[in-house]
Structure 1
Amino acid sequence: MNHSVDIVLPWVDEKEPGWRQRRIEYDQGKEIESTNIRFQCWDNLHLWFRSIEKCMPWINRIFLITCGHVPDFLNLDNPKLRFVRHDEYIPKEYLPTFNSNTIEMNIHRIKDLSENFILFSDDVFPLLPIEEEYYFKDDMVGDEAVENIISTGSFTKGLHEQRYAQVNNMFIINKYFKKREVQKKDWNKWYCEDYGDRLDRTRACVYWYDFPGFYDPHMANAMKKSTLARLWELEPDALDAGSRNKFRGASDVTQYLIRYWQICTGDFVPRRTQGKVFFPTIDTYKDVVDAINNKAYQMISFNENCTPDEFEIMKRDINASLEKLFPERSSFEK
C-alpha cells in the first residue's frame, strides 16, 4: 500500500512579456541558446492535463510550478490542483531563476507535497493508462538500475554544461557509495531480466570500480521528498552552488541525482522504463504524430530541434493529434 502520489510539473510561459524581459536582463549573453528554442511554447498544457486525468486518474494532486503566470484555461478551484510560485518555496537568494535545475532541486521545500511524487516535464505525455504500481509499489519507487558511460560528445554550447552536471552528480554518488558493495547487496535489482537489452550497458561497465554514470530515460520519474531533503543535508554546498546559477551552469546538479541515490540505497522496485523519446525535426516529426495517433507507446516525450517557422508546423500537427486523442475537457480547465 502506497502513500498518496502527487505530480510536480514545472512550467514556463515563454510568451509572457515580463518573464522575457527579466530573462534578458539577467542573461547578459550567458544563456545556453540565443535562438529561444529552449523557451518556445507548445500551447498544449491543457492537453497535458487531459492526458494525466485520462491515463493516471489515481494521482492525488498536481503541483504546477511557475514564476507566477497563470495559464488562461486553468481552473484554480480544482481541489486536485496546487498552483505554486517560485517565491513560495525557492529561497530568495536563488531568485529569480531561469534554471530548471534550481527549480527542481528545491522541490522538497513545497508545502503539502506528498512524500511520494512524480516529476514531469511538459514535453512528456502519457498516451495509455498507467497503473500506480508502475511508479510506486509498497512505497518504493519503480525504476531501473542501469549503468552508462558519460560521453562528452562534440563541444556544443549547452551540452557541455549538461555533461558537467552529470559528472557533478556522479562525484556525489561515488563519494557515498561503493559500486561493488551496492550491486552485491541488491544483485537481483541490478541484473533484473526485465531490463532487457539495457542490461548490456551495465555489463559493459563491469570493470569500473566506481559508477561511471547511469542511463537516464527522459520520462517522468518517481521520487521521494525525503531523498532530496537528505541530499541537501549531506551536500549543502554543492546544491547551493548549483541553485545560485540563474541559468544552467557547470556547477549544477540535476534531478537525476535523486534517482541515483534511490537506486544506490536499494529503495526501488526494478522494472523497465516504458516510453519513447523523440527528437523531431521538420523531416521526422511525423513519427511523433503517428505514435500519438496509434497510441504506440505508454508515454512519449519530444524535444524539438528546428527553426521557429518549422516549429509552428510541427506544433500544429502534433497538437492536432493530441487533441484528437484527448478531446474531452479535463476538470483542470475552466
Structure 2
Amino acid sequence: MSPYEIDLVYLWVDGGDPEWLAKKREYLENKTSLNIEATSKARVADNDELRYSLRSAEKYVPWIRKVFIVTDEQKPKWLNLKNEKVEVIDIRALIPPEALPCYNSVIIEHYLYKIPGLSEHFLYANDDMFFNAKIGPEFFFNSEGMPIVRLQRAFLGNWMSRIRGIFNIPTNIYRKTIDRAARLIKEKFGKYYSGTPHHNIDSYLKTDYRNVVEKDFKDEILSTLINHLRSEHDIQRIIYSYYALVKKRGVLRYVSRKESCRIRLQKPDFMDYIMSYNPVLFCLNDTHRATDKDRERVKPFLEALFPEKSGYEL
C-alpha cells in the first residue's frame, strides 16, 4: 500500500440533458465561425462511460481513497451518493466567475487542485478512460511520491504537426494547445519536451498545479479564461507533466500500447484492440469523426468488459 493517499478525479457532462443543452444553445446563438472541434457532439456525448470507468476503478484500483466527479450543475442519475468514497463537485466551486459559462474542459482542468479535500497525490481521468489490470499506486507514483509522467514519443507525424503549427498551416486545436504548453515551458525553463500526451489516466501533485496556476504561469492561464469554448489559444494540461519533469518532480516514461491504448470510437474493432494489446489503461475516445452508430457500440463493449455493478451505482 502507498504511504500517502491518492484520489481519482473525473470531469463529466451529460450532453443530452435538455436543461444543459438549452443553456449551451443560448450561449452559442449569436456566435459565428465556430470550430467543429469545439462544438462537436463528441465533446459532450454521454455514452455511459463513467459508470464503466468506475467499475474498472473499483475492480482494479480499490486503493483509491476518494473519487471526485466534476460537473456543470449535473449528476449521474445512477450514482450512489451514499457511497462515502464519491463526491460530486460543481465547476462553480473551482473556476473563476469570468470563465462562466464554461463549455471548455481545458479551463476546468486547470482548477482541479481547488477541489475541497483533494489529496496531494491524485489521478485525473476523462470519463472515457479505463483501468484494465490490477495495478498498485507505484504504477502512478514512484517510491519518493513523484508522478510517473507518461508520454508518447514524437514520431514523424507529431513533428510534422508541430511544423504545420509553426508556419500557421492548419492543424487541429488539440495539437496547438499541446504545442503552446511545450513552448511556455521552453521559454521559462529552457527545456523543450517533444513527447506528447498518451491521452489516458495521468498522475499529478496538487502542489505542481498550484505553482503553475498561481505563480509560474499565472498570467498565461488567466488569459485563457475568456475561452468559453475550446480554443487553439488554450494551454493543454500536459503543462503540469512538463512542469513536473523540468522541476525534477516527475519521472518520464514513454508508453507502448500494452501500457496505454487509445481506441478511437470511429474504429470498428474495439475488442480487437483489447485482445491484441491487453493494455493496462485504455481510452475509448469519442471524436468529431464518430457517428451515433459508432456510439451505439460503446455500451455493449463496456458491459462485456465490466459486467459487475460497482458500489458507486444505485
**Shift of residue 291, structure 1, vs aligned partner:** 3.5
Map of 1:151 onto structure 2: 161
Report the RMSD for the aligned CA atoms in angstroms.
2.6
Which runs of structure 2 are paired with 1:41-190 in the superposition (5 Å)? 41-137=46-142, 138-144=144-150, 148=154, 149=159, 151-152=161-162, 159-179=171-191
Q: Which amino acid aligns with 1:151?
A: S
Equivalent residues of 2:61, 2:136 under 8 A apart:
yes
Which runs of structure 2 are paired with 1:287-306 in the superposition (5 Å)? 288-292=270-274, 296-305=278-287
Closer, same or farther in 2 for the Cα pair 1:212/1:257, shift >3 Å? closer
Distance 1:217 1:144 in 2: 6
Distance 1:158 1:68 in 2: 35
Distance 1:215 1:72 in 2: 35
Map of 1:32 onto structure 2: 35
Structure 1 residue ranges, 4+ long, deviating more than 6 angstroms after superposition: 153-158
**Shift of residue 75, structure 1, vs aligned partner:** 0.6
Distance 1:240 1:306 in 2: 28
**Shift of residue 124, structure 1, vs aligned partner:** 1.1
The percent of aligned pairs where both chains have the same amino acid is 24
Farther off after superposition, 156-165 or 126-135: 156-165
TM-score, length basis structure 2: 0.86
Deviations 1:268-311 (A, max 9, x none): 23444321112242xx322x123346782111112245777x43
Closer, same or farther in 2 for the Cα pair 1:11/1:144, shift >3 Å? closer
Q: Which amino acid aligns with 1:112?
A: G
Matched, 1:11 2:12: yes
Aligned length: 298
Gaps of 5+ in 2: none
Local SS of the residue matching 2:147 = strand
Deviations 1:194-226 (A, max 9, x none): xxxxxxxxxxxxxxxxx1633221111111111
Map of 2:223 onto structure 1: 241
**Shift of residue 108, structure 1, vs aligned partner:** 1.3
**Shift of residue 166, structure 1, vs aligned partner:** 2.2
Closer, same or farther in 2 for the Cα pair 1:35/1:272, shift >3 Å? closer
Matched, 1:279 2:280: no
Matched, 1:325 2:310: no
Q: Which amino acid aligns with 1:139?
A: G
Closer, same or farther in 2 for the Cα pair 1:161/1:320, shift >3 Å? closer
Map of 1:198 onto structure 2: none
Q: Which amino acid aligns with 2:72?
A: C
Q: Which amino acid aligns with 1:323?
A: E
**Shift of residue 41, structure 1, vs aligned partner:** 2.1
Farther off after superposition, 126-135 or 21-30: 21-30
Equivalent residues of 1:7, 1:62 under 8 A apart:
yes
Closer, same or farther in 2 for the Cα pair 1:229/1:150, shift >3 Å? farther
Equivalent residues of 1:150, 1:213 under 8 A apart:
no
Equivalent residues of 2:9, 2:122 under 8 A apart:
yes
Equivalent residues of 1:2, 1:136 under 8 A apart:
no
Which one has a bigger Cα radius of gyration?
1
Distance 1:166 1:150 in 2: 14
Closer, same or farther in 2 for the Cα pair 1:119/1:150, shift >3 Å? farther
Closer, same or farther in 2 for the Cα pair 1:139/1:331, shift >3 Å? same
